[in-house]
Amino acid sequence: MFILVLNQNNIVQDGLNNKLVYKFPNSIKLTDKYIAVSSISMFYSWFNITQAQGNNIIYFQWDSSNPATIYQIVIPDGLYEISDLNHYFQFWMISKGFYYEGVNGSNIYMFELLINATRYSVQLNTYKNYWTGNPIPPAIGVTPVGFGDGTGYPTVECNPIITFPANFNIIVGYAPGFVSSPNSIATPFVPGPYSAINGAGTISYLSSLAPQVQPNNNILFSLSNINSPYSQPSSIIYSINPSVLAGEQITEVPPNFLWVKLVDGTYSQLTLTLFGNNLQPVIIQDPNMTILLAIRDKEESSFGSK
């Protein structure tokens, strides 16, 4: 048995960091050889929300009156937990003036995303706004200059309307095209199996599907020059599922080698490609990785014969 070491020196320099090429010093004939992953060390650094995946946009409507302005919130490419998304949406609301300032100096936002661990859901809360027809409750205090992106107070009393387009909806576990209720006089809120309202007019929604916060929760290792007749695609040699936090190091040593036969032939190189769940190449942000591959003969006693 011998070991091949692949690290960032083997990465194809295309900016994706998902393809490693091991070049043999000389062409080598491999007959009745089997290969397996020996160990993996890499960082959890592939984004879950990107423009390329089309899951980086939600829509926000502050006022349900006509004409109403629908804002597109574009999420920068990144590796997000639900709390990170909520923080970004708060940052966006501050930048646009869509929030109230409490008397204690805290900010009061119009919607939020939370983890509801008991229900294995992402919870969306939308809050009733305060318009010019009603006095602002004392607990609210004052509003920031340029409130509502310069549009002033809402002209009708309602909850903001949040839309989760296709692809982003998968992250939070909602139906494609989910739209929250404005809860206005014209369109009152109707409770459902995954939604409710309290006496203050706060509406809470729960995921109706299992959230997939990281769509690529597994990374598939595809190796050239193998042909497994029972897998699709036939080049998959291994899979990892990160059990660490974003940005932390993944260290994996298989308890048993999963040996796969190399196609008999003469080789000058082997190519290892990293795919996401959708079998599309995934972009790895951090190229710092070391992957060991073991190659052995069919006749080696600990492997047995076939």
Q: Which residue has the tokens 């972009």?
A: 283
pLDDT, mean of residues 11-16: 95
Angle at 209 between CA 204 and CA 212, to 5 degrees: 105
| Residue 146 half-sphere exposure toward CB, CA atoms < 13 A | 6
Rounded (10°) CA dihedral 60, 64, 70, 72: 0
**How do residues 285-306 score in pLDDT, each as one tens digit?**
999 999 999 999 987 755 444 4
**How do residues 22-39 score in pLDDT, each as one tens digit?**
999 999 999 999 999 999
pLDDT of residue 306: 40
pLDDT of residue 301: 52
Binned at pLDDT 50, 70 and 90, residue 146 comes out as low
Binned at pLDDT 50, 70 and 90, residue 101 comes out as confident
Tell me how far CA of residue 87 lies from CA of 47, 75, 81, 113, 178, in angstroms.
Answer: 17, 11, 10, 9, 21
pLDDT of residue 29: 92
Q: Domain ranges in the chain? A: 2-46+216-297, 57-206
pLDDT of residue 270: 95
pLDDT of residue 102: 77
Per-residue pLDDT at 227 exceeds 90 = no
Higher local confidence (pLDDT), 26 or 69: 26
Q: Which residue has the tokens 């809050």?
A: 127
pLDDT, mean of residues 260-269: 93
Q: Are 303 and 259 contacting, i.e. CB atoms less than 8 angstroms apart?
A: yes
pLDDT, mean of residues 119-131: 89
pLDDT of residue 1: 84
pLDDT of residue 302: 52
Residue type, 125: N
pLDDT, mean of residues 83-93: 96
Per-residue pLDDT at 267 exceeds 70 = yes
Residue type, 197: I
pLDDT of residue 128: 87
Per-residue pLDDT at 231 exceeds 80 = no
pLDDT, mean of residues 75-103: 92
Binned at pLDDT 50, 70 and 90, residue 173 comes out as very high
Higher local confidence (pLDDT), 105 or 128: 128
Q: Are 30 and 22 contacting, i.e. CB atoms less than 8 angstroms apart?
A: no
> What pTM does this model have?
0.86
Q: Are 2 and 36 contacting, i.e. CB atoms less than 8 angstroms apart?
A: no
Higher local confidence (pLDDT), 199 or 145: 199
pLDDT of residue 77: 97
User: pLDDT over 90 for what percent of the chain?
Assistant: 67
Tell me how far CA of residue 20 lies from CA of 64, 98, 273, in angstroms.
Answer: 52, 47, 6
Q: Which helix (H) or strand (E) holds 91?
A: helix 82-96
* Max mean pLDDT range (147-151, 182-186, 207-211): 207-211
Phi, psi of 84 (to 5 degrees): -65, -40
Q: How far apart are CA 204 and CA 61, in angstroms?
A: 17
Q: Are 221 and 272 contacting, i.e. CB atoms less than 8 angstroms apart?
A: yes
Angle at 138 between CA 125 and CA 160, to 5 degrees: 25
Q: What is the CATH number of domain 2-46+216-297?
A: 2.60.120.1100
Residue type, 128: K
For residue 128, which of 199, 178, 186, 54 has the smallest C-alpha distance? 199
Q: How far apart are CA 208 and CA 195, in angstroms?
A: 10
